[in-house]
Chains A and B, each alone.
Chain A
Amino acid sequence: MANDIDLQDLRVAVTGGTSGLGLALVRLLTGRGARVAFVARGAQTVRHIAGATGAVGIVGDVGNKHDTYPVAMQITGNLGGLDALINNASALGPTPLALLADTQCEELEQALAVNLIGPFRLTKALFGALAASAGAGRGAVVINISSDAAVNAYSCWGAYGASKAALRHMTAIWAEEAKMERISFLSLDPGDMDTPLHALAIPDADPTTLKRPDRAAMEIVTALLAALPNYAVRAVAEQQ
Chain B
Amino acid sequence: MDNHRLDRSPAKLLAVDANGAVRHLPRTRLSSVFSAGDLIVANDAATLPASLVGHHCASREPIEVRLAAWVSHHNLREFAAIAFGSGDHSTRTEDRSPPPPLAPGDRLSLGPLTAVIERLLDHPRLFRLRLSCDSATILAGLAQHGRPIQYAHIPEPLALWDVWTRIAADPIAFEAPSAGFAFDWRTLAAWRQRGICFTTLTHAAGISSTGDPALDARLPFDEPYHIPERTAAAIAHARSRGARIIAIGTSVVRALESAADAVGSIPPGHGIARGRIGRQTPLRTVDALLTGVHQTGDSHFELLRAFASDAVLATVSEAFRAWDYQPHEFGDSLLIERQRRARHQA
Contacts and interface: CB of A to CB of B under 8 A. Distances in A.
B189 interface: yes
Nearest to A67: B143
A222 interface: no
The 10 residue pairs across chains A and B that have the minimum distance between CB atoms: A70-B143, A69-B160, A129-B169, A132-B169, A128-B167, A128-B169, A128-B168, A77-B139, A73-B171, A74-B139
Interface string A178-193: 0011000000000000
Given A69-B164, A73-B48, A132 B200 contact: yes
B169 A78 contact: no
A74 B140 contact: yes
A128 B135 contact: no
A132 B167 CA distance: 8
Interface string B214-241: 0000000000000011100000000000
B162 to A, nearest CB: 9
Given A70-B49, A128-B168, 8 more contacts: A59-B140, A69-B164, A71-B143, A76-B170, A132-B44, A135-B228, A180-B192, A181-B185
Nearest to A57: B136
B143 A78 contact: no
A57 B134 CA distance: 13
B143 A128 contact: no
B45 to A, nearest CB: 10
A56 B166 contact: no
B231 to A, nearest CB: 9
Given A128-B169, A129-B169, A136-B228, A78 B139 contact: yes
Interface string A138-164: 000000000000000000000000000
Contacts of A76: 46, 169-171
Interface residues of B, number: 35
Nearest to A60: B143
B168 A68 contact: no
A125 interface: yes
A128 B200 CA distance: 11
A70 B167 CA distance: 16
B159 interface: yes
Given A69-B160, A69-B164, A74 B170 contact: no
A136 B230 contact: yes
Interface of A: 56-59, 65-66, 68-74, 76-78, 80-81, 121, 125, 127-129, 131-132, 135-137, 180-181
B169 A73 contact: no
B72 interface: no
B167 A131 contact: yes
With most chain A CB atoms within 10 A of its CB, the pick from B48, B167, B189 is B167
A131 B200 CA distance: 10
A125 B161 contact: yes
A85 to B, nearest CB: 13
A70 B144 contact: yes
Contacts of B230: 135-137
Contact of A131 (B74, B164, B169): B169
10 contacts: A68-B161, A74-B143, A77-B76, A128-B169, A129-B169, A131-B167, A131-B169, A132-B169, A132-B200, A136-B228
B53 interface: no
Main secondary structure on A side of the interface with B: helix
A125 B144 CA distance: 17
B142 interface: yes
B44, B166, B185 pick with most chain A CB within 10 angstroms: B185
A128 B166 contact: yes
Nearest to B167: A128
B160 A73 contact: yes
Contacts of A80: 74, 170
A181 B171 CA distance: 20
Contacts of A131: 167, 169
B192 A81 contact: no
A101 B166 CA distance: 40
Nearest to B162: A69
Which of B48, B143, B161 neighbours the largest number of chain A CB atoms within 10 Å of its CB? Answer: B143
Contact of B46 (A56, A128, A180): A128
Interface in B181-230: 185, 188-189, 192, 199-200, 202, 228-230
Interface string B123-153: 0000000000001100110111000000000
A74 B44 CA distance: 16
A76 B200 CA distance: 17
A135 B169 CA distance: 12
Interface string B259-295: 0000000000000000000000000000000000000
B2 interface: yes
Given A73-B160, A77-B171, A128-B167, A180 B189 contact: yes
B161 A73 contact: no
A40 to B, nearest CB: 13
B139 A129 contact: no
B165 interface: yes
Contacts of A129: 46, 168-170
